[in-house]
């Protein structure tokens, strides 16, 4: 195990890491934009609330190359390596509010088999990007983004016991991602998720046994809207706060994605009678089968 404190650079330590290494971050604030290109490593914080990786890039900020950051260069932490895990720390983009700064990613992940346990992700718009980028965006941003960000391979990602803060599309992308026992916290009116999965992907996001919470004025928030035509998200056995609009979902205004998006919901404790008619409302047996198949697909193992 490699133990570091906030007088040291995480990026410098990562340059010397080998496959299988664990980096332990002592409590403190690490003001650094972190790039994790390594495969097969773990980063563990001493305490989720007090071990903080922090940066403040945002969409229109001019970076060192003289260009605006754009959404996909605003991240505080970028993970492109496979088989990476994070636990017991906070990753924060401090460019708030979104009405002033726009897109400001905290965590950007396009590595496969990523695991995130007891991690706090904080921003407003576009807090968490679950890659990969779609092919048209790879072509658009070749030569602009880091080559490591342009991996086209599909990914699976697991977020367990996490707290994710944001307002607009604050969980977005095309990974097949599980969110289990997480607090999804709206800090303003918007959209919890913006999935962008391709037609050939059977599953997209699964929010399972999550708490959907409001902090601030977030009444009228939607569970999801499809960033791309076949975006897929399921909300099963979640505790849904009163800030969620009774229609639940949005087709993405100005599109016909209600014809193609794949959204699912099941709850024994929420009135779903006013949900959009194009949403798939599951019964208990259907919900159980959906969860079982999804967990098998991503090879999820409950280690509690």
Residue 303 confidence (pLDDT) above 90: no
Q: How sure is the predictor about 298, in pLDDT bands with cuts at 50, 70 and 90?
A: very high
CB atoms within 10 A of CB 268: 7
Task: Calculate the average pLDDT of the chain.
Answer: 97
How confident is the model over 97-126, as pLDDT tens digits?
999 999 999 999 999 999 999 999 999 999
**pLDDT of the residue at 259:** 97
Residue 76 confidence (pLDDT) above 90: yes
**pLDDT of the residue at 301:** 78
* % of the chain beyond a pLDDT of 70: 99
Q: How sure is the predictor about 302, in pLDDT bands with cuts at 50, 70 and 90?
A: confident
Residue 21 confidence (pLDDT) above 70: yes
Residue 289 confidence (pLDDT) above 90: yes
The C-alpha atoms of residue 162 and residue 179 are separated, in whole angstroms, by 8
Residue 65 confidence (pLDDT) above 90: yes
The CATH class of 2-297 is mainly beta
How confident is the model over 126-184, as pLDDT tens digits?
999 999 999 999 999 999 999 999 999 999 999 999 999 999 999 999 999 999 999 99
The C-alpha atoms of residue 60 and residue 142 are separated, in whole angstroms, by 19
- Residue matched to tokens 């076949």: 230
The C-alpha atoms of residue 82 and residue 84 are separated, in whole angstroms, by 6
Q: How sure is the predictor about 304, in pLDDT bands with cuts at 50, 70 and 90?
A: low
Residue 30 confidence (pLDDT) above 60: yes
**pLDDT of the residue at 16:** 95
pTM of the predicted structure, to 2 decimals: 0.97
**pLDDT of the residue at 216:** 86
17 Cβ contact partners less than 8 Å away, ≥ 6 residues apart? 2, 23, 38, 41
How confident is the model over 197-254, as pLDDT tens digits?
999 999 999 999 999 999 989 999 999 999 999 999 999 999 999 999 999 999 999 9
């Amino acid at each position: 195990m490699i133990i570091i404190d906030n007088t040291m650079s995480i990026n410098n330590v990562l340059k010397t890491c080998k496959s299988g290494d664990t980096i332990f971050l002592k409590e403190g604030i690490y003001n650094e934009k972190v790039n994790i290109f390594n495969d097969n490593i773990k980063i563990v914080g001493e305490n989720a609330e007090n071990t903080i990786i922090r940066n403040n890039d945002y969409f229109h900020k001019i970076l060192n190359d003289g260009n605006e950051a754009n959404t996909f260069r605003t991240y505080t932490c970028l993970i492109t390596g496979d088989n990476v895990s994070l636990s017991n720390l906070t990753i924060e983009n401090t460019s708030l509010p979104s009405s002033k700064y726009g897109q400001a990613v905290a965590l950007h992940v396009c590595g496969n088999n990523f695991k995130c346990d007891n991690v706090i992700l904080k921003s407003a718009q576009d807090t968490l990007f679950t890659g990969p980028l779609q092919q048209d965006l790879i072509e658009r941003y070749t030569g602009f983004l880091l080559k490591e960000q342009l991996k086209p391979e599909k990914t699976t990602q697991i977020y367990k016991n996490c707290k994710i803060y944001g307002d607009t599309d604050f969980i977005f992308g095309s990974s097949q991602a599980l969110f289990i026992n997480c607090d999804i916290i709206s800090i303003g009116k918007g959209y919890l998720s913006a999935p962008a999965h391709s037609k050939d992907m059977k599953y997209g996001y699964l929010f399972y046994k999550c708490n959907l919470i409001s902090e601030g004025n977030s009444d009228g928030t939607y569970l999801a809207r499809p960033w791309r035509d076949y975006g897929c998200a399921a909300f099963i056995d979640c505790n849904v706060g009163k800030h969620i609009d009774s229609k639940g979902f949005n087709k993405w205004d100005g599109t016909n994605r209600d014809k193609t998006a794949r959204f699912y919901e099941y709850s024994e404790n929420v009135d779903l009678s006013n949900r959009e008619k194009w949403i798939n409302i599951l019964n208990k047996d259907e919900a159980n089968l959906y969860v079982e198949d999804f967990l098998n697909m991503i090879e999820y193992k409950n280690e509690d």
